[in-house]
Amino acid sequence: MPALDPAEASVFNLPPRLAVKADPVLIGPDERHFFIIARRLDGQIADLSVQLDALRRAPAGSGRKALDRDLEIHRISARLRLLRRYGADLCLGRVVPADGSEPLYIGRIGLTDAAGEPLLIDWRAPASEPFFAATPANPLGLASRRRYRWSAGRVTDYWDEALSPDAASGQLALDDDSAFIASLGSSRSPRMRDVLATIQADQDAIIRAGSHGALVVDGGPGTGKTVVALHRAAYLLYADPRLAGHRGGVLFVGPHERYLAYVADVLPSLGEEGVQTCTLRDLVPEGATAVPEPDAVAARLKASAEMVQAVEPAVALYEEPPTQGMAVETTWSDVWLSPADWAEAFEAPDPGTPHNEARDEVWEALLEIAADKGEDADVPREALLASLARNEDLRGTFGRTWPILEASELVSDLWSVPAYLRRCAPWLSPDEARALRRPEGSPWTVPDLPLLDAMRQRLGDPKASVRRRRREEALAADRAYMDRVVQDLLDANDDPESPLPLLRRDSIRDALVHSEALSDLTPDRLAGPFAHVIVDEAQELTDAEWQLLLRRCPSRSFTVVGDRAQARRGFPETWEERLARVGFDTVARATLTVNYRTPEEVMAVAEPVIRAALPDANVPTSIRSGGVPVRYGTASELDGLVRDWLAAHPDGVACVVGDPDFTGTPRVASFSPELAKGLEFDLVVLVHPDAFGAGIEGAVDRYVAMTRTTRELVILSR
């Protein structure tokens, strides 16, 4: 490696207390390697900028060409954003092989020099796995490992681990604490950070696990299950052939919008911007305005997978052929359509075709059957079909027996028309049916959303016929235009050897037609199907909500993240039992038992709270002591307590849980226990915890709120 350019400032910015680590023997090779990385990055940024500028200036084209251009612009832009965001700090650490070969540097992304030699190995590549998985008991061919702490593009600390007795101790700076332990006490921020530099062996095994079936990541608060799931998404997109190249893609479902904002930066920092993130509400148009279900019985009934089964009979009522025949008048004669003819036409669509999208198939089949019965040698078939299609009686009867349907209207009818509900859900008792009854026009509730989604999938696009006709008209106009162009070319050419007459071939004519004429739909990015779905806080999902997600992932490839002890409605089953019941046939479980977030002092108070309600709760063991005991006081102290904390802590974030009258600030949030789930703070102030209620829900809310803190917990009573 070339010597470090003396004009370049050192990448290392170690504080005086770490002067021993600044020894050139320890950091000199890293300095040289980081210098090469920085130079290579500068070159790549320049090259990619030129490529991007050229692509943007080039004609957009049409059809597949335009799509490929847009995808390439997106790919290069994403790469540039990542390279500009990081410099040499793309490097997470290095490993020294036990065989004496050159160190390997592990990065957020892969990077090679101009000759193709690796400067950084992508953290997801198989060659990087020992960096995360090696232990002194199982070194995986490594002599040592080094992890860096970066700040503002400079190394402010690093940690060495000797993994074999043969490690060159003179070239290592060994610490009592690991990089991971050192990171736990750092101040939190409003955004979750990735943990690439500190992934532990048990977490890495989950990240790299296969994608077949459902993998449950079961862990109590602070075990890192959420961040592991996010890193798993990035890994699968890189390594899994089903997902590589973003085929199918990944859907990440979080519990609420604040949670999504909290984790929003993790995947971009890992070089992945293609993962779709959402809440369950986002998957259904009515979700934005849905309100909680006020009736507990109705909520329970709507939450069941059984209620989703009411969709099929609800739609089937509008797919029943007439039971009486009819005479259809044409210009030439009457045509008799029997009930059997209608039934035959209604069976024309393939099974599973959405109702609205099958309508044109049924209509065309009906016309063909009628034309067959009224066919006359003297009457052109196209004329007969046109005459049948214009018959108002036929059109009216067809419109009544196979109407265009809206999902919201049918679900509303279920709740407002008792006879309709009895027909579609005959298993309901009279009392249960009454509990579901709502006046027409009532606002949608959260438990309505899975049923609305199932109904919408079964019905399909209510404007399918209109869109189809529009596409056909556009295509016909485009073909007519191309025909005129071709004819003009032929008229202007008198060369008998010219290949121009080939343009009359249908295959070539169709290739000349702009593909924009074939579709005018804006795709729904959340409609799927997805190759893999990751669900966080999955213990809260109802059976009906699971059906909503399974419809978007036919392969049933899921990462299920949750904690049974944090289920507000209770979770008496095992994960395997719950998932088998909702439709999974393959379920594996990985359990995380170490609490990296919450200090021992806080867990000593929180554990009895959840054990009292759930004796078998998976309470994780804290890995560290914070040295700060849990404090108690009264609600009147809240304002002064927060003010004093802000004055004493220039960094970090806090949260007040349980006081809706407290106004949050950029550094001090104010949440309910439910909205605090999935988040973490340096300080948590719990106000009136007894007001959270009795039973499992109250115990879970108190437990969740207590375990959000990474340092201090204050409990204020009345």
Task: Judge contact between 617 and 562, C-beta under 8 A.
Answer: no
Beta-bridge mates of residue 686: 657, 715
What is the C-alpha separation between 608 and 141, in angstroms, rounded?
44
**More confident of the two residues 504 and 635:** 635
Nearest C-alpha neighbor of 267 from the set 256, 282, 255, 254:
254
Angstrom CA distances, 593 to 217, 249, 266, stand at 11, 30, 23
Least confident piece of the model among 56-70, 210-224, 285-299: 56-70
3-state secondary structure at position 544 = helix
> Which has more confidence, 262 or 123?
123
CB-CB contact of 203 with 596 (8 Å): no
> Among the residues of 21-128, which ranges form H helices?
24-57, 63-85
- Residues 339 and 323: beta-carbon distance below 8 Å: yes
CA distances from 60 to 65, 76, 134, 646 (A): 8, 16, 49, 53
**pLDDT score for 590:** 94
Residue 76's nearest CA partner among 112, 101, 47, 111 is: 47
Residue 116 dihedral angles phi and psi, to the nearest 5° = 90, 5
Strand partners, 622: 595
Supply the pLDDT for residue 305.
92
Q: Round to whole Å and give the CA distance between 305 and 560.
A: 18
3-class secondary-structure state, position 626: coil
Question: Torsion-angle region of residue 245: left (phi > 0), alpha (psi -120 to 50) or beta?
Answer: left
**Percent share of the chain, pLDDT over 90:** 58
Q: Which helix (H) or strand (E) segment is 714 a member of?
A: strand 709-717
Count of C-beta atoms within a 10 Å radius of residue 33: 21
Phi, psi of 503 (to 5 degrees): -65, -15
- Mean pLDDT on 517-525: 59
Residue 464 confidence (pLDDT): 64
What pLDDT is recorded for position 475?
A: 63
286-313 mean pLDDT: 95
**Pick from 85-89, 514-518, 710-714: least confident:** 514-518
Cis (ω within 30 of 0) for the bond into 620? no
Average pLDDT, the chain: 86
Q: Which two tokens stand for residue 154?
A: 């400079």
Considering only residues 334 and 445, tell me which one the structure prediction assigns the higher pLDDT.
445
3-state secondary structure of 441: coil
pTM across the whole model: 0.82
- Roughly how many angstroms between the first and final C-alpha of the chain, as a whole number? 67
Enter the tokens of residue 413: 């009818």
- Give the pLDDT score at 492: 66
Query: What's the pLDDT at 3?
Result: 40
Cα dist from 441 to 411, 423, 444, 581, whole Å: 11, 21, 9, 33
Tell which residue, 46, 15, 33, has the closest CA to residue 106.
33
pLDDT digits (tens, 9 = 90+) for 456-472: 999 998 876 666 666 65
Q: Please check the confidence at residue 494 and state whether its pLDDT lies above 60.
A: yes
Which amino acid is residue 592, in one-letter code?
L
Are the C-beta atoms of 146 and 93 separated by less than 8 Å?
A: yes
Task: Work out the angle between the directed axes of helices 355-374 and 448-459 (0-180°, nearest 10).
Answer: 30
Higher-pLDDT residue of 290, 248: 290
Q: What percent of the chain has pLDDT over 70?
A: 85
- Considering Cα of 219, then 224, then 226, then 230, what sign does the dihedral take? negative
138 beta partners: none
Question: DSSP string of 371-415?
Answer: HHHH--TTS-HHHHHHHHHT-HHHHHHHHHHS----HHHHHHHHH
Please say if the pLDDT value at position 428 is more than 90: yes
Pairing of strands 111-112, 118-122: antiparallel
Opening angle at CA 297, ends 293 and 300, nearest 5: 75
User: pLDDT band at residue 517, thresholds of 50, 70 and 90?
Assistant: very low
Cα(189)–Cα(117) distance, rounded to whole angstroms?
Answer: 37
Q: How confident is the model at residue 476 (pLDDT cuts 50, 70, 90)?
A: low
Residue 216: helix, strand or coil by DSSP? strand
How many angstroms separate the CA atoms of 585 and 119, rounded? 43
Give which of 660, 640, 641, 620 is closest to 714, Cα–Cα. 641
Contact 213, 583 (CB under 8 A): no
The pLDDT tens digits for 586-642 are 999 999 998 888 999 999 999 999 999 999 898 999 988 888 999 999 999 999 999
Kindly state the helix (H) or strand (E) to which residue 684 belongs, with its residue range.
strand 681-687
User: In the structure encoding, which two tokens stand for residue 649, read together?
Assistant: 């802590």
pLDDT at 148: 92
C-alpha 580 chain-centroid distance: 22
* Alpha carbons within 13 A on the beta-carbon side of 299: 11
Sign of CA dihedral 228, 305, 438, 294: negative
**Using CA of residue 445, residue 449, residue 454, residue 458, what is the dihedral sign?**
positive
Q: Alpha-carbon distance 389 to 372, whole Å? A: 14
